[in-house]
Structure 1
C-alpha cells in the first residue's frame, strides 16, 4: 500500500527507548495511579458541567477549572466527612449493643425457641463432625460480638490514622483533575496526534471510554448509593441503626447476585424470630419491592452505555475488576472490556479482506 510507513532500523531503536521511557514513567506514577485514574473518570463526568462554566468564563480557563474542582469538593468531601463521622459513631454504638445483647442472655433466649432447637437437632443429624449445641453457638456469638467491637474500634483508629493519606490522595486527584479539565482539548489533540490510528478510530475509542466510564460510575455506584439509602431508611424505621446498616448495604449491593439482600434478609429473620413479625413483614416487603426494584430498574437505565456488552461480559468485568483492583475495579473492569471490544471491532474492519480470505480458505 502506498500509505504504508517504512520503518528504518534507527526507528526501532527510538521505539524501544520510547517504550522503556514510558514504562519508567509508569513506575513513577504507579503509587498514585488510583487518584490519577479517578481524576480521569471524574473529568469525563464533570466535563458537561465544566463546559457550562467555561461558557460563562471563556477567557479564564484557570478560574473555570478552579470553580469546577471547588464544586466537586463541596459535593463530595463535605458530605462524606459528616457521614463518615456519623457511621463511626453508630458502628461503635451498635457493636456495644450487640455485645450487651449476647451478655444479657437475649441471644440464648432466641436460640431456645422450639423452631430453632429442632433445626439445630436436625442439622446435627447431617453433620459429618461432632454435634454442636446452643451453648456452643452462644460462646461463638460472644466471641464474635467481642471481636466485632474490637475490629470496629481498630478500623475506626485505622481510618483516623489514614486521614492524612486520604487527604493527600484526594488533593492529588483534584490537582490532576484541574489540569485535565483546563487542558482537555490540548490533551485530546495530543493523544490523537500520537496514536497511529485514523481519526475516526481514535474518536470511537474516546467515545467508548467516555460512555462506559460514565455508565460504570452511574450504574454501579449511584445504584449502590440509592440501595443503601433506601435500605438504611427501612432499617431506621424498624428501629435499627439506619446509617450504619445503610452504609453496609452500599458495599453489599456491589456483590453480584446477592446484593443488599445479604443485609435485609437476615435482619427480617431476626425480627421474625424475636416476635416482631409486623416489622419483619414490613422490612421484607421494603427490601424486596423498594430496594430490589432499584437494582432491577435503575441499574439498566444508568448502564445503558454498556448495552453493546453482553450481560455475561459485563458481569465478568465487574467481578474481575473488583478482584484485581478492589472497589475502583468496578470502573476499571468495564472500561477495559469496552476498549477491548472496540479494538477487536477496529481490527475486524482494518483486516476484513484478510479475515474473509482466511475464512474461505
Structure 2
C-alpha cells in the first residue's frame, strides 16, 4: 500500500502539476520583486540628484577622509570633519561668488538702462556711422530699452535661481551633504550590503566599484579642467580688451562654468552689452564673438575628449553619455550619464566573458 502511494506522488501527472504550481509561485515572486524594486525606485527618484552628488563627493573626498580617519579614530567625528571641509571648499565660495555676481549684474543693468534712457548710447554710436545708423533704425523698429531690460532680468534670474530658486534646490544641497556624511561614516557597511545583494561574484563587484569610481573622478576633474580653460580664455580676453579685474572675473567665470545652471556668459554677455552702449562697439563685438564661439563651445569639444581618454571611450560615445545623461537625469546627469554607460559596458563585458568561457567548455 505504501508503495502505491509513493508511486502516486512520483507519478508523471502529479510531478507535472507540482512543477506547474512551482512555476506559478516563482512567477509571482518575480512579479512581486519587480514591483517592489520599481516602487523603491519611484521613492528614491526625488532624491536621485542628492544621491548622485553625494556619491561623487564621497569618491572625491575619500582619500582626504582616510587621512583624517588615521588621526581621528572615531568614525562619526571624522565623517563630520570631512563633510565640513567639503562644505567649506564647495558651498561657501560658490555662495559668496553668486551673491557678488547678483549684485554686479544688478549694478550693471542699472548703468545700462541709464545709458539707454538718457540717450547717451546714441551719441556714442555716432562714432560708427554705418553701424550706428543700422542700430538707430533698429531702435525705431524695436523697443530697445524693453529688450535690454528683459535680457538683464533673464541674467539676474539665471543667477538667483541657483541661489534661491526654490525650496527643493535648498533641500537637494542639504540632503547631499547629509548623505555624504553617512557615505563616509558607513562606507564599509554600505559596500558589504551591496556585495551581499549583488548577483555578481566578488571580483566582478569590485571591478564594478572600480569603474564607477574612475568614471566619477574623470567626470568631475574633466568638468573642473574645462571650466578652468573657459575661465582662462574669458579672463584673457578681458585682459586684452583692458577691462577691469580680468583675473577676478576669470576666476568667477571658472566657478560659474562648473555650475550646471549657470555659465561664463553670465559675465561676458553683460560686459559686451555695456561696451557697445559705451561706444566701444568693436570691443563689444570681439568679446561677444569670443564668448559665443570660443568660450561657449570649447566645453563641447574639450570635455568629451578629456572624458574619453580617461575612460577609454570614443569621443562620440563620451559626448552622448554626457548630453544624454543631462537630458534624462537633469544636472546630475553630468555624473549619472557616464556612470550608466561605463557600468553597462562593464556588465556587458562580464556577460561576453562568461559566454566565451561556456563555449570553450
Pairwise TM-score range, normalised by the shorter structure: 0.7 to 0.9
Q: 1:215 aligns with which of 209, 218, 230?
A: 218
Tell whether 2:44 aligns with 1:41: no
**Matches of 2:161 and 2:200, distance apart in 1:** 47
Partner of 1:239: 243
Most deviating of 146-155 and 264-273: 264-273
Give the total of aligned pairs: 332
How far the C-alpha of 1:105 sits from its partner, in A, is: 3.4
8 Å Cα contact 2:325/2:337 also seen in 1: yes
Partner of 1:201: 204
1:230-309 alignment to 2 at 5 Å? 231-232=234-235, 234-235=237-238, 238-239=242-243, 274-275=279-280, 303=307, 306-309=310-313
Q: 2:181 aligns with which of 160, 170, 178?
A: 178
TM-score using structure 1 length:
0.73
Distance 1:25 1:254, change over 3 A: closer
Determine which structure has the larger helix proportion and give its number.
2
How far the C-alpha of 1:82 sits from its partner, in A, is: 1.2
How far the C-alpha of 1:324 sits from its partner, in A, is: 2.7
Tell whether 2:347 aligns with 1:332: no
Partner of 2:7: none
Partner of 2:195: 192
1:123-162 alignment to 2 at 5 Å? 133-136=137-140, 139-152=142-155, 161-162=164-165
Deviation string, structure 1 residues 304-341 (Cα, Å, up to 9, x no partner): 66441100011112222223333322222211121122
Distance 1:281 1:173, change over 3 A: closer
Q: Does the residue aligned with 1:239 lie in a helix, a strand or coil?
A: coil
**Matches of 1:101 and 1:95, distance apart in 2:** 10
How far the C-alpha of 1:96 sits from its partner, in A, is: 1.6
Q: 1:102 aligns with which of 95, 109, 116?
A: 116
Partner of 2:5: none
Structure 2 unaligned runs (5+)? 1-21
8 Å Cα contact 1:91/1:244 also seen in 2: no
8 Å Cα contact 2:304/2:316 also seen in 1: no
- Structure showing greater radius of gyration is 2
How far the C-alpha of 1:171 sits from its partner, in A, is: 2.3
Q: 2:41 aligns with which of 18, 21, 26?
A: 26
Most deviating of 241-250 and 334-343: 241-250
**Matches of 2:265 and 2:97, distance apart in 1:** 23
TM-score using structure 2 length:
0.73
Tell whether 2:23 aligns with 1:14: no
How far the C-alpha of 1:142 sits from its partner, in A, is: 1.8
